[in-house]
Amino acid sequence: MIRTTVKIAMAAVGATLVGMLFVGVFVGALHQPAPRQVPVGVAGPAAAARQVGADLARHSPGAFTVTAYPDAAAARQAIDDRDVDAALVPGLGGPRLLVAGAAGPFATQAVTGAFQAEAAAAGQHLTVTDIRPLPPGDQTGIAPLFVFLGLALPGAVFGIMLAGVVGKRLNGPAKLASLVGFAILTALAATWITDGMTGALPGNPAGLIGIVALTAFAVSTAYTAAYRLAGLPLAVALLLLFVPVGISAAGGVLGTAFITSWYAQLGSGLPASAAMPAIRDVVSFGGHALAGPLLVLCLWAGISACPGPACPGGRSDSRRRRPAKRVRVGGWLPGAAQSAVVGQQLVHSQDEHRVREPAAHGHEHVRGCAGVEAGLPVRR
């Protein structure tokens, strides 16, 4: 009863710590969102860009970084290339602000509010044009987050099962093929839901399938490698790193420009910080800024493949059935030869043990791991 109570208490404490981790990382990272170094552009000379930067810094210090572009076409291209989130284009009829709603609603609101305040202070009317709006089926920009969540959690289940019970008898290439098949199947299903059914991520199904498949393969392979290296504890720790820490470090729906910079840098090498922007880029920006995210995802997939499904050995292999062992016991048995051979097949070699206990009348009791006792006379 005491042992059961202790186990229940330990489980409760562990679950509480996991809950505290979820609450702590999400609330800690996202509870006071504010723009930090949001990149914006100005179509005009460098002096004009410096003046705009000084005006913005006066009201929002450190919130924006301003870059000058020679004309409106160059500023617009910078938005498409994901170099800036918005661009100011001065004109005789009044200034225009080009924004990309698909970059994130919070970034768009922050930039629009700041430039509108500056225009009002100068007595000008600011025209706002969204050149890359959010998809009609995802006006909050939250679909990439849920897609990643739908990959990280099932990927953990499949990766752990493949490394453990389900794939115990599979060799390395077979496990690798299973992970590739899982990734492709998951990508097809996710694209069908987000593009075909809901219209949340429309416009580029082939690109979306590629990004989702690579993400699913990277995370499931990482879970498989973690389980093979150190078992379930390491796999669970990796899940906590990928989901609560990774998603919060990616800024969630806010974006990395709205959380503490050191925390965003800490999560820049995690799959969430690569997959979520990549999904947005491939759907709304034509895949202009995929080099960094693809590098991160490929590194996770490549590094995890060797200790995971691609290499022999590991925790699951050590649990395979071992050959039967035979134990030779010296002594005299009535009606038998001077030596007796006792065979006991063992599934796990670490479970083998033999205990000898002194007994009366010059005998020893030999107890095997199956709990069978034999009274054998002792040869002095």
Map residue 226 onto helix, strand or coil.
helix
Q: What is the pLDDT, as a whole number, of residue 202?
A: 94
Tens digit of pLDDT for each residue in 130-168? 999 999 899 999 999 999 999 999 999 999 998 887 767
Compute how many other C-beta atoms are within 10 angstroms of the C-beta atom of residue 317.
Answer: 11
Cα gap 66→60, rounded to integer Å = 13
Per DSSP bridges, beta strands 127-130 and 86-89 are unpaired
CA distances from 172 to 26, 121, 161, 217 (A): 37, 66, 15, 15
Q: What is the pLDDT, as a whole number, of residue 137?
A: 92
pTM tops 0.75, yes or no: yes
Beta bridge partners of 355: 367
What spatial distance separates the first Cα and last Cα of the chain, rounded to whole Å? 45
Q: What is the pLDDT, as a whole number, of residue 307?
A: 64
User: 127 — phi, psi (to 5°)?
Assistant: -95, 125
Which uninterrupted H or E stretch holds 67? strand 64-69
Residue the block writes with tokens 């739908």: 150
Residue the block writes with tokens 């998951």: 186
Compute how many other C-beta atoms are within 10 angstroms of the C-beta atom of residue 111.
Answer: 27
Q: What is the pLDDT, as a whole number, of residue 179?
A: 93
Query: Smallest Cα–Cα separation from 118: which of 82, 141, 86?
Result: 86
190, 195, 196, 198: CA torsion to nearest 10: 100
Residue spans of the chain under pLDDT 50: 313, 316-322, 324, 326-380
